[in-house]
Amino acid sequence: MAGGNPLGCGPRPLGGWYLAIGLYCAPFGDHPATYLRVVEVSGIKGARLVLLVSGEGTNLQALIDACRDADFGAQVVAVGADRGPANGLARAERAGLPCFTVRLADYPGREEWDAALTRACAGFAPDLVVLAGFMKLVGKSFLDTFGGRCVNTHPALLPSFPGTHGVRDALAHGVKVTGCTVLLVDDGVDAGPIVAQASVPVADDDDEVTLHERIKVAERALLVSTVGRMVREGWSVQGRKVRIGS
């Protein structure tokens, strides 16, 4: 279609290009069917970020602060939430950013909510969507639009300790080193391709609160540095392997 996006591609970034190809591999012998997503995104000058938040918004604030530096390479164009009021939205409003709320309770089911969230985000034409403490799982509509261009964080070194109790589970397991992960969002729970990780030592006297506070510090720094590199240098995804830059 003239003026539209090529088949298999998401919306084209204003300052670069974006390509997504889905490859289906049929079952063969003992090997099950697989679906390989190949994504390539060029570096994008002045990349547009939409940030989604559910709570305090400390990761969101770190990205807002980073974007004030023109050399960071991105601008926050909107902040969305799945509930209101959220402290993260208050941070965005103080920064003068457009805000929106898409509450699950306002829709008949998750599919309708997911479609509404997708429309709300797409209205700001983001190059990258960042789940900055967003506590809802996104669905098919969202991933069809933003697959390969949506990142999340997790307070553990994935694939170990996924889910909502990653810090508690790491402590219970007795690990000596844990950390945080930046990952691309897929249809699983903390199961997407890993973009970057940082380690955090576990002290003998750590409890869940003290360990989580140190992880949060590392997580904010990792998220900011990773998003900055992605928008400046571009990224590619082949199966589960993510590469930033050429």
Residues labelled catalytic:
154
> Three-state SS for 46?
coil
- Residue 49's alpha-carbon distances to 2, 23, 26, 155, in angstroms, are 26, 28, 36, 22
CA nearest 138: which of 192, 74, 58, 79?
192
Q: Are 63 and 130 in contact (CB under 8 A)?
A: yes
| 61's tokens | 């604030």
Give the angle 141-146-151 at the CA atoms, nearest 5°: 120
In single-letter form, the type of residue at position 103 comes to R
Phi, psi for residue 112 in degrees, rounded to 5: -70, -40
CA nearest 178: which of 151, 203, 195?
203
